[in-house]
Structure 1
Amino acid sequence: MTCTLILTRHAKSAWDSNAPSDHSRPLNSRGRDSARALGNWLRETNELPLQVLSSSSQRTRETYQLTGIEAPAVFTERLYHASSDIIFQVLKEASHSRTMILGHNPGIAAFAHAIVNYPADHTRFDDYPTGATLIAKFDIDTWADLTWSSGRVIEFIVPRELLVT
């Protein structure tokens, strides 16, 4: 069997908002467009998740909502600015073979590098910009069998490539 991970950093947030905290910062206009484009891209690639595990922040919630993904989501404090080790533990607890994780840097970038056997051949993989999305496959029966460096990169994209007009 194969498990599929869709690993997404939240879309671009609004630094100039009146949000009372970092946790409650919303997406900006470009971020909203990017989230919609990511959802369309996932539908086109036929890689929609069966479940979403997300940080509880406003910007990850909005990213999820605007993708139009209909898979059930769990929003958890554990993924708010989580380290790669925490993301690893959360994924090992996932219950569906196609799971999306929505989170933040630097943890998402560190996790992406550590979970795949070879990095994506993309100039932006190292810095994992906002909205960056990795699709990786794992030759395991369940996420409980997950090990480091075991994923194969299938796709990696940044929203800027999807928004080119």
Structure 2
Amino acid sequence: MNKHASTNLTVYLLRHAHSAWARPGQRDFDRPLDVRGVDDANIVGAAFARFEKLPATVLCSTARRCQQTCEIVLSHLPYKPQVQSSDELYSNDHAYYIEQLSKQSDTPVLLIGHNPMMEDTARFLSISAKDRPGERLQKGFPTAGLAVIEFEGTMSQIRDGGHLSEFLSPKRLRKKAQKVEG
């Protein structure tokens, strides 16, 4: 394949699911998911598994809540993508997130990390958005929120920006499920 050929790339940005408050003496890094977080990760994982393009690679913070979110979400996929865990995704800013994404191969990639980096990354990379996904992102990036950004070109060019095509949250997915059931 021509290295400069235009391709349609997909980047998924997933904020870790809801976590418990730190217990006395517990580091923020070690906070686990709470019951709501486990439920939310399962809801988002089930929805994510229905996407046409699934990730070949997952970049994931080594923080406990991110690792747990990753494990739950990936359990819904028909195959297990390659997971690259990184301490640096815990404490670096959105520029670091974008740098790591730009180094990936030209296949769909999922990044699981923290706020405010996830929100900043999504806003920086989304030069255009459908009305509803853009409106949802403007309200913030909730725990277990999933932004879907599509790009033309190669991963090394993602700084040029892409299109926010979808923005899912557990709350929205629950509402959709209730409409179907009701």
- Does the pair score TM above 0.5? yes
Amino acid at match of 1:156: F
Separation of aligned partners in 2, 1:82 and 1:62: 20
Aligned mates of 2:65, 2:44 — CA distance in 1? 14
Give the drift of 1:19. Answer: 7.1
2:41 match: secondary structure: helix
1-structure distance, mates of 2:156, 2:82: 20
Map of 2:35 onto structure 1: 29
CA deviation after TM superposition for structure 1 residue 160, in Å: 1.2
Q: Rg bigger for which structure?
A: 2
Asked if the contact 2:90/2:114 (under 8 Å) is kept, the reply is yes
Q: What is the Cα deviation at residue 87 of structure 1?
A: 0.5
Distance change (3 Å), C-alpha of 1:19 and 1:160 = farther
CA-CA distance at 1:17 after TM superposition: 4.5
Aligned residue in 2 for 1:132: 145
Match of 2:125 among 91, 112, 115: 115
Q: CA RMSD in A?
A: 1.8
Q: Match of 2:88?
A: 78
**Quick check: which one's helix share is greater?**
2
Specify the SS of the correspondent of 2:68.
Answer: helix
1:94 aligns with 2:104: yes
* 1:146 and 2:152 correspond: no
Task: Show CA shifts across 1:6-26 (max 9, x none).
Answer: 001000001154672111110
Determine if contact 1:35/1:63 at 8 Å carries over to the other structure: yes
Which residue matches 1:158?
169
Task: Report the TM-score when normalising by structure 2.
Answer: 0.82
- 1:94 deviates by 1.3
Distance 2:52 2:172 in 1: 18
Deviation digits for residues 108-147 of structure 1 (CA, Å, limit 9, x no counterpart): 111110111135333354420111111111001x312222
C-alpha contact (below 8 Å) 1:6/1:100 kept by paired residues: yes
Percent same amino acid at aligned positions? 26
Question: Which residue pairs with 2:8 in the alignment?
Answer: 2
**CA shift digits 1:42-68 (9 cap, x unpaired):** 112223211100111000000010011
Aligned letter for 1:93? K
Q: Number of aligned residue pairs: give it.
A: 163
Q: Is the 8 A contact 2:22 2:28 kept in 1?
A: no
Which letter does structure 1 place at the counterpart of 2:174? L
Separation (CA, whole Å) in 2 of partners of 1:163 and 1:16: 27
Give structure 1 stretches of 5+ with no counterpart: none
Q: Structure 2 CA distance, aligned partners of 1:47 and 1:161?
A: 21
Distance 1:30 1:58 in 2: 15
Q: TM-score, normalised by structure 1?
A: 0.90
One-letter amino acid of the structure 2 residue matched with residue 139 of structure 1 = E
